[in-house]
Structure 1
Amino acid sequence: MLVLISYDVNTEDAAGRRRLRRIARLCSSWGQRVQFSVFECLVDNAQWLRLRAALTAEMDPEKDSLRFYLLGNKWRGKVEHLGCKAAYDPEGPLIF
């Protein structure tokens, strides 16, 4: 399933900047950054539960915000891209 993750982390102190780096690193290890604080992650249910648990463990619910959009397996008709950044296919081949 495709999950869209967006976050807003309070970076007024060193702990907030550390949380921001850790949350961004977690998201990038599971998916593709599509905006500065937005990731698309193609995961199965078990992976999704692990990712969500890891992200919620890193955040400070008093200062930070995480939003999850579960687009499911039939996400292709729900995503439209316009603009300068190249779109990518999360199910397509990866070239290194």
Structure 2
Amino acid sequence: MLVLVTYDVSTQDNAGKRRLHQVAKRCEQYGQRVQNSVFECLLQPDELVLLKHQLLKIMDPEQDSIRFYNLGAKYQSKIDHYGAKHTYDPEEVLML
């Protein structure tokens, strides 16, 4: 299933900047960054549970927010992309 992960982490202090970096690095392990604080992650249900757990341990619930949007298995019809960034197919092989 495709899950959209969005986050807003306060960077008012060094601890917040560290949390922002940690959240971004964790999301990079599971998906593709499509905007600054937005990731598209193709996940199995157990991976989603694990990612949620990991991100919620990092964040400060008094200052930060994280949202998970479950687009499901038939996500292709739920995404319209316009503009400069090229779209990609999360199910294709990713060459690094």
TM-score (norm 2): 0.97
Instruction: Tell me the equivalent position of 1:38.
Output: 38
Q: CA offsets, 1:40-64, max 9 Å, x none?
A: 0000000110000000010000000
CA distance in 1, matches of 2:40, 2:7: 12
Residue correspondence of structure 1 range 9-48 to structure 2 within 5 A: 9-48=9-48
Instruction: Tell me the equivalent position of 1:8.
Output: 8
Measured on the aligned residues, the alpha-carbon RMSD in Å equals 0.6
Instruction: Tell me the equivalent position of 1:90.
Output: 90
- Tell me, which stretches of 5 or more residues in structure 1 are unaligned? none
Residue 21 of structure 1: SS of its match in structure 2? helix
Q: CA offsets, 1:13-62, max 9 Å, x none?
A: 00000000000000011000000000000000001100000000100000
Q: CA offsets, 1:42-95, max 9 Å, x none?
A: 000001100000000100000001011000111110011110011010001222
- Tell me, which stretches of 5 or more residues in structure 2 are unaligned? none
TM-score (norm 1): 0.97
CA distance in 2, matches of 1:25, 1:93: 20
- What is the percent sequence identity of the aligned residues? 52
Instruction: Tell me the equivalent position of 1:65.
Output: 65
Instruction: Tell me the equivalent position of 1:55.
Output: 55
Question: 1:27 is aligned with what amino acid?
Answer: C
